[in-house]
Amino acid sequence: MTAPLDLSPAPGAAPLPRMILSQAAYEVRAVLRNGEQLLLTLIIPVVLLTLFSATSLLDLGPGDRVDFLTPGVLALAVMSTAFTGQAIGTGFERRYGVLKRLGATPLPRGGLIAAKTLSVVAVEAVQAVVIFAVALALGWRPHGDPGSVLLLLLLGTAAFSGFGLLMAGTLRAEATLAAANLVYILLLAVGGVVFPLDEFPGGVRDALELLPISALAEGLRDVLQDGAALPGTPMIVLAVWAVAGLALAAKFFEWE
Amino acid sequence: MTPPGDGAVELHRLVKRYAAAGGERRAVDGLSLSAARGAVTALLGPNGAGKTTTIEICEGFRRADSGTVRVLGLDPAADGPALKPRVGVMPQSGGVPGTARAGEFLRLVASFHATPLDPAALLERLGLTEHARTPYRRMSGGQQQRLSLAVAVVGRPELVFLDEPTTGLDPQARHATWELVEELRAAGASVVLTTHNMDEAERLSDHVVIVDHGKVVAEGAPEELTGAERQLRFRARPGLGLEELLSALPAGSAAKESPAGHYLIEADVDPGLLATVTAWCASHGVLTEDLRIERRTLEDVFLELTGRELRP
């Protein structure tokens, strides 16, 4: 027979930070080897950035195209990971009883949410490195305060995570899949990611500026393109979305 | 009132209602049971009897509408954080992400525990070593079940809940599962499992609880449940005069032929009765074949208690 196993009871939970790190590492691996997720998180942003920077397909107003596009694509990358990827991934985990099963392990629910957040931030860091590298190669010259950029990215992540988890925890997994992709495409089109909001009529533009994706893209542009520090309006818009999304998710999320 | 015992699981008058078409349905309806520490307890019952609901209340996934639940002396609804490291759970199906590899997921759950089993040794033990890198969704049903069992025991729990651990397994995998359960028990862990497999309940359990319509209909050690009653079976040419045979047997005996040529005598089987039957056959020039004395099986008891009609 095979090696003996010591099955005598020796229960005990690992320290919480170790559980969170280990779950986060698993989630990062799961995202990075998932082809569809990689398409959303890396390939589409890089293709948009390269295509529209290197060609004059779009009229992007005065200034270097890459300086306009990089902040928008960065915002898109945050949305793809914190919202679309997280909503779909968590929706299917809920549907297949993974959340329930993890709920039977010593990892507490708060620890699972912390791990998911950590993995979203880690994937975003990978995305940012790739996008910055491509942008620099295309001649991007960033300005502004790195602290403001970081703060905007964190606010954006919180806002998108809240709504991603809200969707995953309330809708059927198939509905989440469809809706999360639809929202991604819509916000890509009308959220000032690659198509400037100036092209829309005034009233419509004012409304679109209240979207989290536009707030993040415009805020990042204010800093990276125009050298502003702590752009007030985008930060307030993002903070409102973040509080609303996280509160709604905390209230309505169903684990099974 | 019964004071709470110190068993691994103590349930007292548990009730769980679900909304159902035309009102509500009681999935668990006043169920009480005690599962001893260091023992294997089987919940045996037909589909829809309330076994899974009961076990999910013990695991803290559901809350009872009334009654008391004590798992290792704690309340699973309130003491989850204290209880979870001590309890292993194997759900009836699923619970592993489709893209997760078997070894990866087992190592992940092992990392949540202070002194887990070696995941590689556990995979080896359950015959999953060559599937360690296989994504869960590409594994066969039996491989998925074995991984699920491994996940339940990797944290070296004091108490393990196994919800239909061998459903859909081939005989080799079933025996491997049984051996692991026997070893858990020998190592001092408590096991509570659900099953509708009689062999499993009879072979593994110290205590069998037969559940139907959300209630306990019988419980005891397997040999207590099957009792002292015995029966006699033999084959012979079809169409024997059973009325005449019965008149030679003690009152209260029963005899039937089903299918043709297969006879069953239900009676207080003792050497005298055996002699009477063979003598009667000899006097009628009947050669009995495959004559054997059987104890009632758990299946006989089960069907007697829960009826023969099919469950939805």
Domain ranges of chain B: 9-225, 228-295
Determine which of A47-61, B83-97, B121-135 has the lowest per-residue pLDDT on average.
A47-61
Residues of A in contact with B101 (CB under 8 A): none
Distance CA B39, CA B10 (A): 13
Q: For residue B1, what pLDDT band results from cuts at 50, 70 and 90? A: very low
Contact A34 B188 (CB under 8 A): no
Q: Is residue A117 part of a domain?
A: yes
Query: Which amino acid, B296?
Result: R
Confirm whether B9-225 and B228-295 share one CATH topology.
Answer: no
Residue A3: the pLDDT is 57
**What percentage of residues in chain B have a pLDDT greater than 70?**
97
Domain that holds residue A124: 16-53+61-252
Q: Say whether residue A13 is in contact with chain B using an 8 A CB cutoff.
A: yes
Q: Is the predicted pLDDT of residue A246 greater than 60, yes or no?
A: yes
Contact B94 A101 (CB under 8 A): yes
Residues of B in contact with A98 (CB under 8 A): 94-97
Question: Choosing among B56, B89, B109, B162, which should be mutated to test the A contact, i.e. which has the most A CBs within 10 A?
Answer: B109
By three-state DSSP, how is residue A182 classified? helix
Residues of A in contact with B189 (CB under 8 A): 7-9
Q: Say whether residue A255 is in contact with chain B using an 8 A CB cutoff.
A: no
Sheet holding B23-35, edge to edge: B23-35, B9-20, B66-71
| Higher-confidence position of A54 and A246 | A246
Helices of type H across B253-297: 271-283
Q: Say whether residue A98 is in contact with chain B using an 8 A CB cutoff.
A: yes
Contact (Cβ atoms closer than 8 angstroms) between residue B50 and residue B214 = yes
Helix axes A86-95 and A173-190, enclosed angle (nearest 10):
170
The residue count of chain B comes to: 312
Distance CA A86, CA A79 (A): 10
pLDDT tens readout for residues A178-199:
999 999 999 999 998 988 888 8
Residue A93: closest C-alpha in chain B = B97
Residue A13: closest C-alpha in chain B = B113
Q: Is residue A9 part of a domain?
A: no
Contact A12 B121 (CB under 8 A): no
Q: Is residue A8 part of a domain?
A: no
pLDDT tens readout for residues B116-136:
999 999 999 999 999 999 999
Distance from CA of A188 to the nearest CA of B (A): 28
Distance from CA of A54 to the nearest CA of B (A): 37
Residue B189: closest C-alpha in chain A = A9
| Higher-confidence position of B254 and B102 | B102
Q: Is residue A5 part of a domain?
A: no
| Higher-confidence position of B109 and B298 | B109
B146 token code pair: 């074995």
Q: Is residue A157 part of a domain?
A: yes
Q: Is residue A6 part of a domain?
A: no
pLDDT tens readout for residues B211-248:
999 999 889 998 888 876 678 889 999 988 888 888 88
Q: Which of B105, B115, B125 sits opposite A5 (nearest CB)?
A: B125
Which of A47-61, B75-89, B256-270 has the highest average model confidence (pLDDT)?
Answer: B75-89
- Count Cβ–Cβ pairs < 8 Å, chain A vs chain B: 124
pLDDT tens readout for residues A88-141:
999 999 999 999 999 999 999 889 999 999 999 999 999 999 999 999 999 898
Query: Which amino acid, B49?
Result: A
B65 token code pair: 């509408």
Phi first, then psi: give them for residue B17, nearest 5 degrees.
-105, 145
Architecture of the domain spanning B228-295: 2-Layer Sandwich (3.30)
CATH 3.40.50.720 fits B9-225, yes or no: no
Pairing of the two strands B190-195 and B159-163: parallel
Q: Is residue A178 part of a domain?
A: yes
B71 token code pair: 């798992």
- Interface confidence (ipTM) of the complex: 0.88
Residues of B in contact with A119 (CB under 8 A): none
Residue A170: the pLDDT is 94
Contact B153 A7 (CB under 8 A): yes
Q: Is the predicted pLDDT of residue B2 greater than 90, yes or no?
A: no
Q: Is residue A33 part of a domain?
A: yes
Average pLDDT over residues A35-64: 84
Contact B108 A104 (CB under 8 A): no
Question: Choosing among B56, B57, B84, which should be mutated to test the A contact, i.e. which has the most A CBs within 10 A?
Answer: B84
- Report the number of distinct structural domains present in chain A: 1
